[in-house]
Structure 1
Amino acid sequence: MLAVIRYTVPESQSQDFVKQGHAILDLLATQPGYQRGRLARSVDEPNLWALVSEWEGAGFYRRALSAARMAMYPLMILMVNEPGAYEDVHVRDGA
């Protein structure tokens, strides 16, 4: 299961955002079902960021969000309000 949370971050806040993003990923990584995560920045729109994580299933992700709520709270004003949980339909690894 893929989780994507997008953020619109003013350039003046990007350094603090990166620190907070690292802390959130560190916290999520301690939760059951976590597989991997990354913080990414759009190459076309530098104010657009994504916190992307992979989970064993949606239940694990939702429980992890509850555990990380306080760490994520300061960034909520920057979140893009859209669905962010995606179920794998097809996965193809590289060679």
Structure 2
Amino acid sequence: MLAINRFSTDDPERFQKEAAPALEAFARCRGYLRGGVARAVDEPETWVLWTEWDNIGDYRRSLSSYDVKMSTPLLSQALPEAVGFETLVTCEPGSSSTVTTSDHSPDTIGRSDQP
């Protein structure tokens, strides 16, 4: 499961200083696999804080973590758009793609009350 928080900033130095502790807070949570902070190549004011998780439940529980809540000033500045993405097709270098099934049944997609 990928979580992608997108930001627009005119102060990249400040943003990087605030994003690093937020990423570290996520990294201490159960189910965290990896993450990073990246800047758009063609739009230097556009940044993302991305994280990868074992599952959506671990990501959602991480948002209740004290350390992550202390990062809320940064996270509250994220652009208002979808954050969580279910990985359904992957491909490793030199291999064929692998398709996985969704954790959601068709009638639960888009419902916020589902894990």
Q: TM-score, normalised by structure 2?
A: 0.75
Q: What SS class does the counterpart of residue 81 from structure 1 fall into?
A: coil
Question: Separation in 2 of the partners of 1:58 and 1:81?
Answer: 19
State yes or no: 1:2 paired with 2:21. Answer: no
* Superposed CA RMSD: 1.2
Give the number of the structure whose residues are more often helix, by fraction.
1
Pairwise CA distance, 1:40: 0.3
Query: What are the residue-to-residue correspondences of 1:1-80 with 2, within 5 Å?
Result: 1-10=1-10, 13-67=11-65, 68-77=68-77, 79-80=78-79
Decide which structure has the larger Cα Rg and report it.
Answer: 2
Deviation at 1:74, TM superposition (A): 4.0
Following superposition, the deviation at residue 65 of structure 1 comes to 1.6
Cα 1:74–1:51, aligned 2, differ >3 Å: closer, same or farther? closer
Structure 2: gaps spanning 5 or more residues: 95-115
Larger relative contact order (C-alpha < 8 A, sep ≥ 6)? 1
Normalised TM-score (structure 1):
0.90
Percent of residue pairs bearing the same amino acid type: 35
Aligned length: 92
Structure 1: give runs of 5+ residues left out of the alignment.
none
The one-letter amino acid paired with 1:7 is: F
Deviation at 1:66, TM superposition (A): 2.0
* Partner SS for 1:66: coil
